[in-house]
């Protein structure tokens, strides 16, 4: 049986659909938990968009959902969420279905801030199912997030969501939908794996979890291991049968890619431009403070002054030198707006006119600027911190300091193990529960739903993770000073 998600996967790439059925065990985990959670949250809120609605509860027996939907459709006027239908072995659940006499409107709800082409395909499949069952669907809409909305007081659904009429596009695709369904069903009953080459469908509209499986025939390392090269450029080399590092070196390739290739291919020793590193260090003044924030995002803003997907700081770590290395930290209580308390602690912990180091400072600066706008009484101090931030990433971004283990990246998660390969206390893999920013964000977002004991354990591990972020910066800074002596 085809569902709307299977249909969409199939038109992106029929091999993806086939692998999901026959070899799901080769699928990679893309860590999309937060995306899923946002989708659920947005979907639940959107149920209130058109007024009072009736929900068809999920049942693993899809026929029961269809029966429940038919019962609700006996009413003359009704709004149904998850209205479920089956036609000729094609199943779909409509996010919101509005019935007005014998005319219907379909609303597909997305947690995105724009309308992607795949959404049109999604709704077109649903329309195909409903129209072939004899329902008179007059209008089709995509409901998505308005990124410019700022919450002030009660949540305003008519401002949070944008509703786009896509009826004309859906009607134009009906012959295509019928053809696609026949095509996909043919592949689903064939136990022979489709011979589909890799392409942009591996990355757009979403990264494919089967990419590693589909590229296992490529000798490692290859063009897809290059950092900072566009997907389109990588595919161009691949289609020209130029993808091994040896082959790429024969091309007129950008110096930053050539550097990554040569260092890994020829096992080159570290490169240090001491003059450039020293020039960077000379821009820093003591005392030095090392700052790192952890943030979370809300598709549906819970607090005033928040826009969808705005970075909301809930934690920071601060290392600094004062008669030796010292450390301060802050972690908010889950379930409450953390911004005011965090901002107050930040201005207490960082003196005015102090040099602050961050890694990829644009993130920290954005967080601080937003806090300054929100709290005028703290603004002068916050903006003073803002204006004194320097970026520890610069020597690595500029490739003034490069070793092969960085693999073309200047991310601290690559730089740190490259510079300190044998130091267990600097290895994020040795931490409990929280190993990266995504895990920190997802864990804090869910913390309020945990027991007191679970919250205490999670808080302990969040603090350890964030502390390592700034301790790592301290170690990198000391390494830079060491190599220019």
| pLDDT at 12 (0 to 100) | 95
Residues 160-196: pLDDT tens digits? 999 999 999 999 999 999 999 999 998 889 889 999 9
For residues 257 and 385, state if they share a domain: no
Tell me the percentage of the chain whose pLDDT exceeds 90: 95
For residues 206 and 304, state if they share a domain: no
pTM of the model: 0.91
Q: Does 148 score more than 90 pLDDT?
A: yes
* Sheet arrangement for strand 389-391: 325-331, 312-321, 288-296, 355-358, 389-391
Is residue 193 a part of any domain in this protein?
A: no
For residues 273 and 246, state if they share a domain: no
Dist. CA 343–CA 90, nearest whole Å: 53
| pLDDT at 485 (0 to 100) | 86
- Burial annotation 350-372 (CB, 10 A radius, 16+ → b, else e): beeeeebbbbbbeebbbbbebbb
For residues 184 and 216, state if they share a domain: no
| pLDDT at 39 (0 to 100) | 86
Dist. CA 276–CA 399, nearest whole Å: 10
For residues 290 and 430, state if they share a domain: yes
**Per-chain mean pLDDT for the chain:** 95
Domain count, the chain: 3
Is residue 225 a part of any domain in this protein?
A: yes
Is residue 440 a part of any domain in this protein?
A: yes
Please give the average per-residue pLDDT across 229-251, as a whole number.
96
For residues 27 and 91, state if they share a domain: yes
For residues 333 and 470, state if they share a domain: yes
Residues 86-115: pLDDT tens digits? 999 999 999 999 999 999 999 999 999 999
For residues 448 and 460, state if they share a domain: yes
For residues 290 and 207, state if they share a domain: no
The candidate with the shortest Cα–Cα distance to 224, out of 398, 236, 111, 382, is: 236
- What confidence category does residue 33 fall into, taking pLDDT thresholds of 50, 70 and 90? low
Q: What is the CATH classification number for the domain harbouring 59?
A: 3.90.320
| Residue ending a domain, choose from 188, 214, 240 | 188
What residue numbers bound the domain in which 213 lies?
A: 200-265
Is residue 195 a part of any domain in this protein?
A: no
Residues 447-480: pLDDT tens digits? 999 999 999 999 999 999 999 999 999 999 999 9
Is residue 325 a part of any domain in this protein?
A: yes
Residues 392-447: pLDDT tens digits? 999 999 999 999 999 999 999 999 999 999 899 999 999 999 999 999 999 999 99
Dmax (CA) for the chain in angstroms is: 82
| Residue ending a domain, choose from 218, 243, 265 | 265
| pLDDT at 32 (0 to 100) | 66
Is residue 301 a part of any domain in this protein?
A: yes
For residues 238 and 93, state if they share a domain: no
Is residue 71 a part of any domain in this protein?
A: yes
| Residue ending a domain, choose from 232, 265, 298 | 265
For residues 155 and 53, state if they share a domain: yes
- What confidence category does residue 35 fall into, taking pLDDT thresholds of 50, 70 and 90? confident
Q: What is the CATH classification number for the domain harbouring 285?
A: 3.30.420.10
Is residue 194 a part of any domain in this protein?
A: no
Residues 269-314: pLDDT tens digits? 999 999 999 999 999 998 999 999 999 999 999 999 999 999 999 9
Q: Does 30 score more than 80 pLDDT?
A: no
Q: Does 359 score more than 90 pLDDT?
A: yes
For residues 243 and 132, state if they share a domain: no
């Amino acid at each position: 049986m085809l569902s709307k998600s299977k249909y969409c996967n199939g038109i992106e790439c029929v091999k993806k659909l086939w692998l999901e059925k026959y070899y799901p065990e080769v699928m990679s985990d893309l860590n999309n938990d937060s995306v899923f959670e946002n989708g659920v949250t947005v979907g639940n809120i959107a149920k209130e968009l058109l007024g009072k609605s009736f929900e068809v509860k999920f049942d693993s027996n899809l026929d029961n959902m269809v029966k429940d939907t038919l019962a609700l459709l006996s009413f003359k006027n009704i709004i149904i969420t998850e209205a479920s239908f089956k036609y000729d072995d094609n199943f779909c659940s409509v996010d919101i279905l509005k019935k007005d006499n014998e005319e219907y409107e379909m609303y597909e709800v997305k947690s995105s801030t724009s309308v992607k082409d795949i959404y049109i395909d999604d709704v077109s499949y649903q329309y195909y199912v409903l129209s072939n069952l004899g329902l008179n669907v007059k209008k089709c809409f995509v409901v998505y997030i308005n990124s410019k909305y700022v919450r002030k007081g009660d949540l305003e659904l008519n401002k949070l969501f944008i509703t786009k009429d896509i009826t004309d596009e859906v009607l134009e695709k009906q012959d295509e939908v019928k053809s696609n369904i026949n095509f996909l069903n043919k592949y689903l009953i064939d136990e022979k794996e489709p011979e589909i080459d890799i392409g942009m469908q591996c990355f757009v509209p979403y990264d494919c979890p089967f990419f590693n499986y589909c590229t296992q025939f490529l000798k490692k390392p290859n063009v897809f291991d290059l950092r900072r090269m566009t997907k389109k450029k990588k595919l161009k080399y691949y289609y020209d049968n130029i993808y091994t590092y040896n082959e790429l070196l024969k091309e007129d390739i950008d110096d930053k890619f050539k550097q990554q290739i040569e260092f890994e291919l020829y096992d080159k020793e570290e490169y240090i431009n001491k003059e450039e590193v020293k020039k960077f260090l000379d821009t820093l003044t003591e005392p030095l403070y090392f700052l790192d924030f952890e943030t979370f995002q809300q598709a549906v803003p819970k607090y005033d002054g928040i826009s969808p997907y705005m970075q909301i700081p809930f934690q920071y770590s601060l290392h600094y030198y004062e008669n030796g290395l010292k450390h301060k930290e802050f972690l908010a209580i889950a379930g409450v707006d953390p911004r005011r308390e965090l901002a107050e602690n930040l201005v207490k912990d960082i003196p005015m006119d102090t040099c602050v180091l961050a890694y990829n400072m644009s993130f920290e600066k954005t967080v601080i600027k937003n806090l300054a706008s929100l709290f005028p009484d703290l603004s002068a101090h916050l903006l003073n911190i803002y204006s004194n931030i320097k970026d520890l990433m610069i020597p690595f971004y500029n490739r003034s300091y490069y070793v092969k283990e960085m693999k073309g990246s200047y991310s601290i998660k690559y730089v740190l193990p490259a510079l300190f390969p044998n130091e267990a206390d600097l290895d994020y893999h040795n931490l409990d529960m929280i190993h990266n920013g995504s895990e920190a964000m997802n864990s804090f977002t869910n913390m309020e739903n945990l027991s007191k004991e679970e919250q205490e354990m999670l808080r302990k591990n969040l603090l350890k993770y964030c502390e390592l972020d700034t301790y790592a910066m301290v170690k990198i800074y000391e390494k830079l000073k060491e190599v220019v002596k």
